[in-house]
Amino acid sequence: LLERLPLKRKRWIAPGVWSAAVSTPHAPENRVFVLRIAAGLPAARHQHGGAEFCTVLKGAYRDELGRFAAGDFAAVEGDFNHQPRVEPGEECICLFATEGRLRGQDLIGKLAFRIADV
């Protein structure tokens, strides 16, 4: 599936974590990304600057809203603050779109989101 997406360059955010923007030529202002996090790792705690829509393509993660596995869709409004954690045993790959930038809530998150440009 990932081979068919028009991905821009992968950006390694941290060991076991990368993100790649998806080219959206018909709506270049859209912020669409693929995120891959290795099994058992957390994402950086972050807050949303607008709505976010996420589809899990592979693996599973948990956050304050519950468990999301391959095929699940999650939507959150702006100002939602959370820290997803990938479940052990399998990497998690998500396709997500966000209306605004993500804001890291700690030093690691702030650096990670600056590198990833999300």
Q: What is the mean pLDDT of each run of 10 residues along the chain (118 residues)?
A: 70 84 72 91 80 93 94 88 91 88 65 62
What confidence score (pLDDT) does residue 30 get? 66
What confidence score (pLDDT) does residue 83 get? 84
* 107: three-class secondary structure by DSSP: helix
- In what side-by-side order are the strands of the sheet with 31-37? 7-14, 17-22, 31-37, 92-98, 52-58, 73-76
